[in-house]
Amino acid sequence: MTLYAQWTSNGTNPTPSPTASNMLNGHEFVDLGLPSGTKWATCNVGAATPEGYGDYFAWGETAVKENYNWTTYAHSNGDDHSITKYCDDSDYGNNGFTDNLTVLEASDDAATAKWGAGWRMPTKEEMQELYDNCTHEYTSQNGVNGRLFTASNGKSIFLPAAGGYSDNTLNNAGANGYYWSSTLATDSPAGAFSLFFYDNSAYHLNDFERTEGLSVRPVCKPQN
């Protein structure tokens, strides 16, 4: 079966529409044949098409906002050394706080909050699995720059270069892509891991400040 997300690198549109067998809660996924069985969504949270930028979220927050910084961040008391959740280092915790949580709980996962149970943000390991098991190229789809990940089974997903927010400014839209994982950067809990790419860089997993407004591409593991 050909899926809606099978776009070619020259922007050719597919003809089939999604079917119930590749939908969860009204949102489409693609089976890339990954070893873990993880299925990747065809669109970002807040987008209606694969090349749509969608919404931007701070890590561990589930609502869009005007300013992305520590003073507006839900899980701190105003700076990067007063963290109140997801902290494994007392030097960063509010009054020495630690909880040793290193993966987002469902209540703090933007994918789950917006798309419902079964959908979630990918872990760092699942992002690495995507890289290890797909070819990837920086390309343009329907006039939008981004990176196309194509699996050995011929199916693919397109991640638009949607940029990211710092404070109230969207930076590098149309050039760079930043996608949150659900995994805390345990060597510095003021950050979390994200997939990062630009035109001449294949792929990186970097830690970004949790306050940055980045894209979310959900994953799921539906029952067969």
pTM: 0.90
Q: Where are the domains of the chain?
A: 20-220
The tens digit of pLDDT for each residue in 109-123 reads: 999 999 999 999 999
Q: Is the pLDDT of residue 4 over 50?
A: no
Specify the amino acid at residue 140.
Answer: S
Helix, strand, coil percent content, the chain, rounded in steps of 5: 10, 35, 55
- According to DSSP, the residues that pair with 207 across neighbouring strands are 193
Reported as a pLDDT band with limits 50, 70 and 90, residue 3 is: very low
Spatial CA neighbour of 130 closest among 81, 197, 84: 197
Confidence grade of residue 206 (pLDDT, cut at 50, 70, 90): confident
Tell me: the pLDDT tens digits for 31-45? 999 999 999 999 999
What gap in Å lies between CA 219 and CA 19, rounded to an integer? 18
Give CA separation, 181 vs 20, 22, 77, 144, 205, in Å. 27, 22, 23, 23, 9
Sequence-ordered list of residues with C-beta below 8 angstroms from that of 8, at least 6 positions apart, any chain: none
pLDDT in tens, 117-155: 999 999 999 999 999 999 999 999 999 999 999 999 999
- 102, 109 in Cβ contact below 8 A? no
Structure tokens at 212: 């940055």
- The pLDDT, as a whole number, for residue 14 is 39
Sequence letter at residue 134: C
Decide: residue 5, CB within 10 A, 0-12 exposed, 13-18 middle, 19+ buried: buried
Closest CA relative to residue 199, chosen from 170, 174, 221: 174
Task: Quickly tell me which residue has 């979310």 as its tokens.
Answer: 216
Q: How confident is the model at residue 186 (pLDDT cuts 50, 70, 90)?
A: confident
| Beta strands per DSSP E along the chain | 23-24, 27-30, 39-41, 134-141, 144-151, 156-160, 164-166, 169-171, 177-184, 191-198, 201-209, 219-220
